[in-house]
Amino acid sequence: MAKPMDVEQLPSSHHVEGDVASKSELQVNVPEARQSLIRKKVGLQMPEMECCTDNNSFQFDGRVLPIVCTLYVLSYLDRSNIGNAKTAGLEKDLHLSNYQWSWVLYSFYICYILFEWTTVLWKIFPAHIYVAVLCICWGAAAMSAGAVNNLSQLLACRCLLGIFESIFGAGAPYFLSLFYQRKELGFRVSLLLGMSPVANCFASALAYGITQIKEGAPTVLFAIVVFLCLPDSPGSAKFLDETEQTEAVERLQTIDRTAKNKLQWKQVTSGLKDYKNYVHMTIHFCCNFSFSGLSNFLPTIIQTMGYTSVNAQGLAAPPYFASFLCCIIAAIVSDRWGNRGFVVTFFAVLGTIGYLILTCVTDESKTGARYTGIWFATCGIFPALSINITWLLNNQGGDSKKGAGMAMLAIFGQCSSLISSSVFPNKDAPFYTKGCALGCAFTGLIAILAIGLHVSLTLENRRRDRLYGEVSEHHRVDVTDGGDQNPGFRYLT
């Protein structure tokens, strides 16, 4: 079998909108100097990181990333304002029992899970319109929750909030994958998902600021920014001229000539059959147990160590901020040197050690050891979660398969949030042994699955090298029909 074609022989990607017919015929080899120029035009350069990379791949995108990250923080605040409302007396005002209040919380997660399949819709609708409408919808749902008079109204608002935030949250990492090369994506996705521990870190201050105005209102107002500034794709970005649009698409490593506003059902089916997606899905399930469990119960766990509520909130902030820094470090390492499986495994082992300490140390006087366990658990799970999502996006053959893979990961992965909401009951205080032991088991399973997938992908790459010959790291591959089964496709391990 002949070796795969060089980039100069391949047509450009069909991601380019506008005069698609003419652009798709161009055969472009984009020099690194031109790629750097495009990145500088669309982004804010980070000179301090140039020593870490030859291609300036760690530059903030001045258009896409700040908008998407801001939306992620706003969505987190809008969903978490239910806790502030409870503190303010909403539960008592509506005369809700503990059982009824649990269903207020469950309603959001159930709807969030049911609508995470909508990742595939990001391929069909223009992003600047689609996301702007979502902002208005979930912002309106959050504002309406502040005016409810009974349980039914509150449940309806929480269900709508779960639906609209799910559509955004599940698709945001996929959207970023349309703009960046595979080895540039880890930093951006980690920064995006790192907004969650940052929001947790500053939750009290942010919550105070938000309560001075109507919840959801900032999100609705931000929809204007989204509509005016968010590009739909690299090939339709209005701040690039036609040549730069073509080059922005050509710099991506794979070609998918499927029209942007259509689903390639062959790719979707391939995603549903791919064992790798089921491994990533299981890893995400295990990660999300701790992701949601720590968000819901970390201050409570710290408080049972003998601290006041205020001090417990304060002591929860440093581990969250450290986990954000770990997300960035993990992304830089995995983007620069690859081996995402090793990175996920390392942080999963770190998290496992943390949960093991929390499970085994049952002496109330050893608060230092237990607090150290919290640091390890928090700093381990968030980087593992973010790199796993990036890893899945890196190895999908085509945008429709990316959407299918992300939908699978999100739907099943989110289910563990329902488990974590039930395994830290008050009766298990102060050690919460059952919840911590489950966290230890799930996090240990992450390490096993990640290292196993790394070995499997490495062996597959070597097999293809033997059969078809080695390919350049920057080799472009047409995944329209064959997907990642194309002889020139090499997996990031």
The domain that holds 340 is classified in CATH as: 1.20.1250.20
Instruction: Give the pLDDT score at 43.
Output: 47
CB atoms near residue 43 (< 10 Å): 17
Closest C-alpha among 134, 146, 157, 136 to residue 220: 136
Is 391 within 8 Å of 185 (Cβ atoms)? no
Domain annotation covers residue 425: yes
pLDDT in tens, 394-407: 888 777 788 888 88
115 or 256: which leads in pLDDT? 115
User: What is the pLDDT of the chain when averaged over all its residues?
Assistant: 79
Is 439 within 8 Å of 298 (Cβ atoms)? no
Triad 483, 488, 492: Cα angle to 5°: 80
Closest C-alpha among 247, 226, 229 to residue 239: 229
Triad 389, 263, 167: Cα angle to 5°: 50
137 or 50: which leads in pLDDT? 137
Residue 407 φ/ψ region, left for φ over 0, alpha for ψ in the -120 to 50 degree band, beta for the rest: alpha
Instruction: Give the pLDDT score at 3.
Output: 43
Give yes or no: residues 198 and 279 share one domain.
no
Domain annotation covers residue 250: no
Domain annotation covers residue 283: yes
Give yes or no: residues 303 and 207 share one domain.
no
Give yes or no: residues 218 and 325 share one domain.
no
Domain annotation covers residue 415: yes
Most confident among 106-115, 387-396, 423-432, 473-482 (mean pLDDT): 387-396
Domain annotation covers residue 50: no
Instruction: Give the pLDDT score at 261.
Output: 56
Give the relative orientation of helices 64-87 and 151-177 as an angle to the nearest 10 degrees: 160
Instruction: Give the pLDDT score at 383.
Output: 94
C-alpha torsion sign, points 419, 165, 206, 200 = positive
Give yes or no: residues 97 and 185 share one domain.
yes
197 or 346: which leads in pLDDT? 346
Give yes or no: residues 464 and 401 share one domain.
yes
pTM of the prediction? Answer: 0.78
341 or 54: which leads in pLDDT? 341
pLDDT tier at 443, thresholds 50, 70, 90: very high
Give yes or no: residues 236 and 298 share one domain.
no
Give yes or no: residues 232 and 277 share one domain.
no
Give yes or no: residues 235 and 270 share one domain.
no
Say yes or no to pLDDT of 22 above 80.
Answer: no
Q: What token pair was written down for 209?
A: 């600021």
pLDDT in tens, 257-315: 665 556 677 888 888 889 999 999 999 999 999 887 887 678 778 878 888 766 776 78
Instruction: Give the pLDDT score at 462.
Output: 95
Most confident among 43-47, 191-195, 355-359, 408-412 (mean pLDDT): 355-359
Alpha helices in 251-366 (DSSP H): 265-273, 275-303, 309-337, 340-360
Instruction: Give the pLDDT score at 231.
Output: 85
pLDDT in tens, 304-338: 888 876 677 678 888 988 999 999 999 999 988 88
Closest C-alpha among 193, 139, 134, 195 to residue 168: 134
Task: Enter the DSSP assignment of 483.
Answer: G
Residue type, 337: W
Domain annotation covers residue 16: no
Q: Which of 187, 210, 241 is the last residue of a domain?
A: 241
Radius of gyration of the chain (CA): 23
Rounded to an integer, the average pLDDT of 151-163 is 91
Instruction: Give the pLDDT score at 20.
Output: 36
Number of domains composing the chain: 2
Which residues span the domain enclosing 422?
A: 262-468+475-487+489-493
Instruction: Give the pLDDT score at 44.
Output: 35
Instruction: Give the pLDDT score at 21.
Output: 36
Say yes or no to pLDDT of 371 above 70.
Answer: yes
Q: Which of 190, 212, 241 is the last residue of a domain?
A: 241
Rounded to an integer, the average pLDDT of 437-465 is 96
Closest C-alpha among 372, 332, 333 to residue 350: 372
Rounded to an integer, the average pLDDT of 56-70 is 64
Give yes or no: residues 172 and 291 share one domain.
no
Give yes or no: residues 174 and 274 share one domain.
no
Task: Enter the DSSP assignment of 13.
Answer: P
Lowest-confidence region among 45-59, 83-97, 116-130, 255-269: 45-59
Is 11 within 8 Å of 25 (Cβ atoms)? yes
CB atoms near residue 22 (< 10 Å): 11
Lowest-confidence region among 202-206, 271-275, 465-469, 476-480: 202-206
Instruction: Give the pLDDT score at 47.
Output: 34
Q: What token pair was written down for 108?
A: 């959001």
Domain annotation covers residue 373: yes
Report the C-alpha gap between 179 and 353 in whole angstroms: 36
Closest C-alpha among 291, 297, 293, 296 to residue 420: 293
Dihedrals φ, ψ of 158, to 5°? -70, -35
Give yes or no: residues 368 and 410 share one domain.
yes
Give yes or no: residues 204 and 341 share one domain.
no
Instruction: Give the pLDDT score at 474.
Output: 67
Residue 381 φ/ψ region, left for φ over 0, alpha for ψ in the -120 to 50 degree band, beta for the rest: alpha
Domain annotation covers residue 17: no
Q: Which of 241, 274, 304 is the last residue of a domain?
A: 241
